Amino acid sequence: MSHFSYQDGVLHAESTPLPQIADAFGTPTYVYSKAALLENFNAYANACKGRDALVCYAMKANSNLAILDLLAREGAGFDIVSGGELLRVIAAGGDPGKVIFSGVGKTVGEMKLALEKGILCFNVESIPELHRLNEVAGAMGKRAPVSLRVNPNVDAKTHPYISTGLKSNKFGIAFDDALEAYRTAARLPHLAVVGIDCHIGSQLLDDAPLLEALDKLIDLIDTLAAVGIVLHHLDIGGGIGINYGAAGDDPPVAVGEYLGRLFARIDAWRADKHGGQPIKVIFEPGRSIVGNAGVLLMSVEFLKPGEEKNFCVVDAAMNDMMRPTLYEAWMAVQPVVPRSGKPVTYDIVGPICESGDWLARGRDLSLVPGDLLAMMTAGAYGMTMASNYNTRARPAEVIVDGDQVHLVRKRENPVDLFELESLLK
């Protein structure tokens, strides 16, 4: 169920009218629904009930402290990709013992921090990284828990920028080299080999490539066990894609269905080869937890009719929401209070000095300046990818809980944006 709906002709977040939020906090503002967030997380958690499984929310999708706090209270772990993200988890009251650390370029400083805080696992992506981690852990008198990110060479059939499991991608250790890499890891004295992970891409609408990757990991786990390397967990990477609502797009496989198929395969394999002994399963979903739990609320500044195109200039821009221009992503844009007038076809653009500064193209809308628009399904990879290009202050963020609105990030003040800068002495 969508937690953003029209009630008496006005778009609401839960039971709060969006105009009320625009009045109180201005625009552009990211508006999140607490109920949607929890519902999405619990789709994973419920499918994992009664199993040894951990949902590590990929916080790169949205790392607002209030969101991390809400998810931590539901029992979430976190998938991090930087020391900064680990500091956020801790600031939000999350448990470092449920954190996995992904990424191809972990620095010595980041490794030290993660070891100090006692994270669950390092998802290691290369042999040089194994050696670095071994040295860092040794110097601290610790053993680092590691999983190797294996690149299963499966085509995720998603946008090339967010496809990660092919041989041509920078991620992970090639499937054919994985056995040797595990042997190396097992020999290093300051590492404890605990798991295997993969992540083949984001916004996958079909689970077939994920199940294909799972089969490859399962084979590898058995090959490793045969040489005495016994793994305790299997991490299948990010979540399933979400419905952005573009015409002609197939809706994605539902979370419960995907997890059901995945667990069925795992159970059959464990029953067949391991006397039914379970293996811990980890997931790293991001988009499917926060994506449809957020909208970007914005105002129409000007309507600019043109010979070839009509432009609707809004107060949000590509710096606030990069997805359209970066991936040519189609994002739905809806009027907050729909008008009855004849619709005009607009390109919805921001005020940034680049032709790439567009949010949506060819949308039929009936508008007047000052109207509010909501970019739907904007909760994932929206605010976390926002920048200060053109010295634009990033939006405020609020979480709606029924008729309550909580400001969870103040709008930036442009003056603060150059606070770290100085003139020549």
Q: Which segments are annotated as binding site?
A: 239, 284-287, 323, 327, 354, 381
Q: What are phi and psi of 398, to 5 degrees?
A: -130, 150
Shorter beta-carbon distance to ligand LLP: residue 129 or 284: 284
Binding mask 150-189 for ligand LLP (x = CB under 6 A): ------------x---------------------------
At closest approach, how far in Å is the CB of 17 from ligand LLP? Answer: 28
Does 284 sit near ligand LLP (CB under 6 A)?
yes
Does 209 sit near ligand LLP (CB under 6 A)?
no
Identify the CA nearest to 188 among candidates 242, 234, 132, 150: 132
Does 34 sit near ligand LLP (CB under 6 A)?
no
Identify the CA nearest to 288 among candidates 327, 342, 244, 326: 244
Does 3 sit near ligand LLP (CB under 6 A)?
no
Options 298, 381, 397, 399; binder of ligand LLP; rule CB under 6 A: 381
Rounded Cα distance, 114 and 144, in Å? 9
Options 77, 152, 209, 286; binder of ligand LLP; rule CB under 6 A: 286
> By three-state DSSP, how is residue 180 classified?
helix
Whole-Å CA distances, 288 to 100, 184, 237, 326, 403:
18, 35, 13, 20, 24
- Amino acid letter, 129: E
Options 88, 216, 323, 394; binder of ligand LLP; rule CB under 6 A: 323
- Residues 222-251 close enough to bind ligand LLP by CB under 6 A: 237-239
Does 102 sit near ligand LLP (CB under 6 A)?
yes
Q: Which residue is nearest to ligand LLP (CB)?
A: 238
Taking the alpha carbons of 180, 224, 145, 241 in that order, is the dihedral positive or negative?
positive
Residue 353 known to be catalytic? yes
Rounded Cα distance, 305 and 307, in Å? 7
| DSSP for residue 247 | T
Q: Which stretch binds ligand LLP (CB under 6 A): 69-77, 213-221, 283-291, 363-371?
A: 283-291
Options 33, 151, 163, 203; binder of ligand LLP; rule CB under 6 A: 203
* Residue 93 structure tokens: 């009251």
Does 202 sit near ligand LLP (CB under 6 A)?
yes
Q: Residues within the annotated binding site for pyridoxal 5'-phosphate?
A: 239, 284-287, 381
Does 77 sit near ligand LLP (CB under 6 A)?
no
Catalytic residue among 121, 198, 312, 353: 353
Does 58 sit near ligand LLP (CB under 6 A)?
yes
Does 44 sit near ligand LLP (CB under 6 A)?
no
Whether omega for the bond prior to residue 28 falls within 30 degrees of 0, making it cis, is: yes
Residue-by-residue DSSP string for 266-335 = HHHHHHHHSTT---EEEE---HHHHGGGEEEEEEEEEEE--SS-EEEEES--TTT--HHHHH-----EEE
Under 8 Å between Cβ of 169 and 155: no
How many residues bind ligand LLP (CB under 6 A)? The answer is: 19
- Pairing label, strands 10-13, 4-7: antiparallel
Does 199 sit near ligand LLP (CB under 6 A)?
yes
Binding site for ligand LLP (CB under 6 A): 58, 61, 79, 102, 162, 199, 202-203, 237-239, 284-288, 323, 327, 381
- Please list the active-site residues: 353
